[in-house]
Amino acid sequence: MTTKQGAAPREAGDPHCLREGEAARLLERAPWRRFVVLGDGVAEGRGDPVEGYGQGGWAGRVAAALREVRPELAYLNLAKRSLVAAQVRSQQLEAALNFTCDLAAVVCGAQDVLRRSFDPDATEVELSRVIAPLRDAGCDVLTMSQFDITRSGLVPEEESPALRERLRVLAERTQAVSLRHGALHVDLTLHPAAADPGVHSADHRHPSARGHAVAGAEAVRRLGARLLER
């Protein structure tokens, strides 16, 4: 069941989610007409449903918000689950550039973190190799770090310290790359909602519908902040 405005009842009252009319207000002057998404399963939109929250990944939510002010927006989501950063570059970058986008979201690195062989330097290089060509093509780029699931109590205590450190490093490296290339960054790692088990899916790898709603809201707010800077 949805409210009159189309937002699910619990979502409409969630303090971390968008309020009625907030997206349209923040994005009123949005210039973007071609939006592409690159990344892994988080960017693809995978996640468990949550009663009272709308369906769809955070990127689709951003596209919908942009279409409120730019109905002609073209949207392409190239993301696929289980890809490491190097695979995102090799499998998605060319198609993204061919799409001639003016806004791109790049969200990856979580799969790298889960590998025993995780190399922060190599992951940072791959992120840079994705972001730089998009920026060189004149595209605004948005990156996003992952919710820190270790704060939710869902990860076994003996595994939490190592995973927490890896997620922290990934967030720092992603933010650093973004700053170097003039990209926007949304930091979800320390977001207060990360401590709520309800923002995480049962696989512990993807946000739930609530997590996607929160992430989408933060992405819209970051884009709105950029518009105010111009």
How many Cα neighbours within 13 Å face the side chain of 149? 23
Q: What is the pLDDT of residue 230?
A: 79
48 vs 50: CA distance, rounded Å: 7
203 vs 169: CA distance, rounded Å: 22
Q: How many CB atoms lie within 10 A of CB 112?
A: 25
For 54-93, write each residue's pLDDT tens digit. Answer: 999 999 999 999 999 999 999 999 999 999 999 999 999 9
For 152-164, write each residue's pLDDT tens digit. Answer: 999 999 999 999 9
How would residue 3 be classed by pLDDT, with cut points 50, 70 and 90?
very low
Span 176-205, average pLDDT: 97
**Residue in 93, 100, 173 with CA at minimum distance from that of residue 133:** 93
pLDDT exceeds cutoff 70 at 174: yes
Helix and strand counts by DSSP (H, E) for the chain: 9, 5
Residue with tokens 């790692």: 189
CB of 186 closer than 8 Å to CB of 105? no
Q: What percent of the chain has pLDDT over 90?
A: 95
Q: What is the pLDDT of residue 136?
A: 98
Domains in the chain: ranges and CATH = 31-229 (3.40.50.1110)
Element (H, E) at 89: helix 85-98
How would residue 4 be classed by pLDDT, with cut points 50, 70 and 90?
very low
Q: What is the pLDDT of residue 9?
A: 57
